[in-house]
Amino acid sequence: MADPRGFLKVRQRETQPRRPVPVRIMDWKEVYEAQEKGVLKAQAGRCMDCGVPFCHQGCPLGNLIPEWNDLAWRDKGEEAIERLHATNNFPEWTGRLCPAPCEASCVLGINQPAVTIKQVEVSIIDEAFENGWVNPLPPTRLTGKTVAVVGSGPAGLAVAQQLTRVGHTVAVYERDDKIGGLLRYGIPDFKMEKEQVDRRVEQMKVEGTRFRTGVAVGTDVTWEQLRRRYDAVVVATGATVPRNLPIPGRDFEGVHFAMDYLVPANRVVAGETVENQIHAKGKHVVILGGGDTGADCLGTAHRHGAASVTTLAIGKQPPAERAGHQPWPTFPTLFEMASAHEEGGERTYLASTVEFVGENGKLTGVKVAETEFVDGKRLPKAGTERIIPADLVFLSLGFTGAEPAGITEQVSADFDGRGNVSRDGYYMTNTEGIFVAGDAGRGQSLIVWAIAEGRACAAAVDKFLMGSTILPAPVAPTDRAIAVL
């Protein structure tokens, strides 16, 4: 364990500092600063010998958290990254983007603030990159088997890296011009700069993974063609169909899905030229939806110089402390202050959007009403309507499933009632040899689940191809471990 009395000596939780708001909204660099080494070691030392480390079950990857906390406290960074990489292919992503369900199940969190697990994780991997401890791991032999992975988000890249390392020849297909999926063009740089994606892609290239960008599977090449060309195909396209809000005025100019705003903004930050970019400079912006994507829109609008930004959520404001029906070690729904919320804007809860208001086809405002609950339904309360001035509205209401992209017609893979590609307990669709991992199969979820499913799906594919596997399988589609693998 780490310091045996660490949790008694250091009772205060100290997280990674953020750059001052007036400074960071002037650029697109990550908002976080590096934590001082002594503070980090003290925080890692709070990890206690708790007997049963519930952080293991809180993390879908089963990260060996007490082990690398101990190694970080002992300043053994090279050993720490070895333990961290044993369960997580991309800790620099989870350490920046994961909401840390591990911390919600930390035993210390019963009566003290939880250990800063996420901060220790990202510090370990950042130090490893700085010191050259992250090296390619090419296979010692090739199996002669080939695998196509469609989609280059965290699930697809986890599948590809695992299968490449055991000797299969893997090609990753991506319809965008660069690898990374939503990590590349959906996540703003102020949350994660794209160097974090680029250097992993370079590592994977050296290991032997092949990348095919600018290829839309289903049109440029069919699923059936991939099925004939490769021994196995993995669908890792994500859940990218946005949830719409079909109310009066939806067709007004100025009402957009969140990704229609974020993707071009990220391309411009990357140095690309984007025609007719949606820009918030000097405009009144309303964001519908209070989740991570809404916060991304909020931070982007601040950096664009919006005149005002209002975030509307239909439900109640979450509590600051655990609710009784979400006891430890479950992952609670809590009121959170993301970095973008620190930068300004108004957050309004119990706000039902009734209508988009406009003139001559252009948006001028949003009519909202207070939300009331009737027979378990959330409805706008009559007589409470008001209009919020708005030049732009971004719909950040989540996603409803994977894009069909011809998969049903071309290889007869079925979709379930939730818009996800159907699969069995071994990640295979109803078409033999075609697998699905990540959000495409489980629906919109966390990055840590995507990587965990990618690793488990890789084990299932390897077993399908070779009859057995040495790859770890942290989770099954039913959220339980696949013991038989």
Please write the tens of the pLDDT for every residue from 439-458: 999 999 999 999 999 999 99
User: Which secondary-structure segment (H or E) carries 377?
Assistant: strand 377-380
Contact 307, 284 (CB under 8 A): yes
Which two three-digit tokens encode residue 423? 């699969």
- Cα 166 → chain centroid: 26
- The pLDDT of residue 187 is above 70: yes
- Looking at the predicted structure, is the pLDDT value of residue 229 above 90? yes
Count other Cβ atoms within 10 Å, centred on residue 71: 23
Q: Is a pLDDT exceeding 60 seen at residue 39?
A: yes
The share of the chain scoring above pLDDT 90, in percent, equals 94
Residue 474 pLDDT level (bands cut at 50, 70, 90): confident
Distance of CA 239 to the CA centre of its chain: 11
SS3 305: coil
For residue 144, how far is the Cα from the chain centroid?
33
Q: pLDDT grade, residue 478 (50/70/90)?
A: low
pLDDT at 45: 95
Are 281 and 307 in contact by the 8 Å Cβ rule? The answer is no
Which residues have CB under 8 Å from 13's CB, separation 6+?
43, 46, 112, 113, 114, 115, 116
For residue 105, the model assigns a pLDDT of 96
pLDDT at position 3 is 81
Query: In which residue are the tokens 């890249």 written?
Result: 157
Report, as an integer, the average pLDDT of 207-221. Answer: 98
> Which tokens sit at 358?
């406009």
30 close to 299: Cβ distance less than 8 angstroms:
no
Do 349 and 413 meet the contact criterion of CB atoms below 8 Å apart?
Answer: no
Query: Which tens digit of pLDDT belongs to each residue from 396-415?
Result: 999 999 999 999 999 999 99
Query: Is residue 483 over pLDDT 70?
Result: no
Beta-carbon-side half-sphere exposure of residue 238 (alpha carbons within 13 Å) = 20
Amino acid at 368: V
For residues 48 and 226, give the distance between their C-alpha atoms in angstroms, rounded to a whole number. Answer: 50
pLDDT above 80 (res 361): yes
Cβ(462)–Cβ(105) below 8 Å = no
Residue 49 is predicted with a pLDDT of: 82
d(CA 463, CA 427): 12
Segment 424-434, tens digit of pLDDT: 999 999 999 99
Segment 175-181 shows an average pLDDT of 97
- Pull the structure tokens for residue 172: 């990753």
3-state secondary structure of 5: coil
3 state SS of 283: coil
CB 395 within 8 A of CB 289: yes
- Closest C-alpha among 379, 353, 357 to residue 287: 353
- How does DSSP classify residue 220? T
- pLDDT at position 386 over 90: yes
Closest CA to 172 of 198, 153, 193, 199: 153
Instruction: For residue 200, name the pLDDT band (cuts at 50, 70, 90).
Output: very high
Q: Give me the amino acid identity at 354.
A: V
3-state secondary structure of 431: coil
Query: What's residue 477's pLDDT?
Result: 76
Backbone dihedral angles phi then psi of residue 56, each to the nearest 5 degrees: -65, -45
| Domains defined along the chain, listed by start | 5-131 (1.10.1060.10), 146-240+400-466 (3.50.50.60), 244-397 (3.50.50.60)
- pLDDT given for residue 9 in this prediction: 92
Question: For residue 2, is pLDDT > 80?
Answer: no
Helix or strand or coil: residue 93?
A: helix
Query: Given a cut of 50, is residue 72 above it in pLDDT?
Result: yes
At residue 1, the pLDDT reads: 61
Mean pLDDT of the chain: 95
